[in-house]
Structure 1
Amino acid sequence: MFVARIALLFIICIWVRLTSQETVKVTLYYEALCPYCHEFIQDQLYPGYETLGDSLQLDLVPYGAAKHKKVHGKWKFSCQHGPKECYANKLHACVLNKNYTQAESMNFIGCLMKTANPEKDSNAKKCAYKKELSWETIKRCANGEEGDELFAHYGDVTDSLYPSLEYVPHILFNDKDNQTLEDSARDNFVKTVCAIFTDRPSGC
């Protein structure tokens, strides 16, 4: 009886540890065609997510220096790298807001940002099929009112940032602006984020 109780307590301790795993929130303000954003996502953020998984709570905001306003009831956008970037941003916005897991969304975005032209449907389609997501659902969203509303929403999120956004990629850790951590993350994201954990996950 005593041994059974000890075993039960051991199992409960393991379950509590697993279900209360510490996470670090990483917020990224970016643009889909910004070369520096490409570099950070491709070389740092996505490999870091592959290493640390859902120990990270990723909050991606695809908007950057874009502008949005309603004209005759319809959203109009202008993006730093032109209309192609607006469309690419909408692709990201749609994937981030569909009923996909964080891993599914990140796998698609990681795949797309490795391509030379992430605004092209041909590349997005390949990434969607490769990651087993519905390309038709993503495309319909990005080309319709839903994509416009989601992109405008990310614009509102970006415009509400304080201090105001001055550059991309802009990285926050646990909703805090810390220039030292941000600069460090650009060079070694995994090392930077691992130092934030109180109880480091196995990937660290």
Structure 2
Amino acid sequence: MVSPSSITKLVFLACFVLFSFSDNLVTGQSDKVQLNLYYESLCPGCQMFIVDELVKVFDSDLFTITDVKLVPFGNAEISDNKTVICQHGEEECKLNAFEACGIKILTNPKSQYKFIRCIENDTKNYEQNCFQGFGDDQKEVMNDCYNSDLSKKLILENAKQTMSLKPKHEFVPWVTLNGKPLYEKLNDWVAQVCKLYKGKAPLPKECSSGSVLSETVKTTSELQFSYVNDAMIIN
């Protein structure tokens, strides 16, 4: 006969195992390198990094060792009444909110990136060009998101994430790898991702490709950073 104390211990052990298993599922533990990009939509350097640099993750085997998180907010400010004021004016606020909706609705990382890259590559004509391949239903859902309170909630959440960075961000594009900022030294971000990867899978060929690394040095040296203390463009 099993004693009450033994039953209690078994119940406790079962609960502990279940909690631990559930916790691991929730946290989504991954051995990939976490690349977070904090940006604002009309910042020239942000556009260049999204269009010309991040494409290297999604068009190569770097995707197998890298998780990318896009956080549109950048150097915007929040007024006392929760109004968002963007560095490059109202159009940037609109695009930030629309992109936040796209990131929320398109849960597949490659789809997210494809959508955001299309917008940042042509911010004037994105409504005509950037919904191809996603379907009318998704377009309608994204428009509904943008026109509802959800878009503001998403931007306020992005603001919270951006403003709670430690150390604080000084400019955009602000890139962190596993939580640590690269500051202005983005010239070797691909090499840094390869160096940080500690998983069991073989390193992708891009990690030993001199052409990829030299191209990164060339393109990121031309980035135009938008600093936190730069003047706001009010329109």
TM class by shorter-chain length? Answer: 0.7 to 0.9
TM-fit CA distance, 1:57: 1.0
Q: CA separation of 1:78/1:65 partners in 2, compared to 1, >3 Å: closer, same or farther?
A: same
TM-fit CA distance, 1:177: 2.5
User: What is the aligned partner in structure 1 of residue 192 from structure 2?
Assistant: 192
Distance 1:125 1:25 in 2: 32
User: What is the aligned partner in structure 1 of residue 161 from structure 2?
Assistant: 157
Q: How many residues were matched structurally?
A: 174
User: What is the aligned partner in structure 1 of residue 59 from structure 2?
Assistant: 50
Q: Contact conserved, 1:112 with 1:127, CA < 8 A, in 2?
A: yes
User: What is the aligned partner in structure 1 of residue 72 from structure 2?
Assistant: 62
AA matched with 1:194:
C
* 1:55-98 CA-partner distances (Å, limit 9, x unpaired): 31111111011112463xxx411100000000100111111112
TM-fit CA distance, 1:53: 2.2
TM-fit CA distance, 1:131: 4.5
Distance 2:164 2:110 in 1: 27
Say what the alpha-carbon RMSD is for the aligned residues. Answer: 2.3
Q: Contact conserved, 1:44 with 1:190, CA < 8 A, in 2?
A: no
Whether 1:94 and 2:98 are equivalent positions in the alignment is no
Distance 2:80 2:102 in 1: 23
The percent of aligned pairs where both chains have the same amino acid is: 30
Q: Contact conserved, 2:71 with 2:158, CA < 8 A, in 1?
A: yes
AA matched with 2:132:
Y
Q: Larger radius of gyration, structure 1 or 2?
A: 2
AA matched with 2:101:
C
TM superposition score normalised by structure 2: 0.66
Q: Contact conserved, 1:31 with 1:37, CA < 8 A, in 2?
A: yes
TM superposition score normalised by structure 1: 0.76
Q: Contact conserved, 2:115 with 2:130, CA < 8 A, in 1?
A: yes
The unaligned stretches of length 5 or more in structure 1 are 1-19
* 1:84-133 CA-partner distances (Å, limit 9, x unpaired): 00010011111111252111111111222211xx2x4x413421224547
TM-fit CA distance, 1:203: 4.6
Q: Secondary structure at the match of 2:171?
A: coil
Q: Contact conserved, 2:72 with 2:96, CA < 8 A, in 1?
A: yes
Aligned counterpart for 2:117 among listed residues 110, 123, 128:
110
Q: Contact conserved, 2:79 with 2:85, CA < 8 A, in 1?
A: no
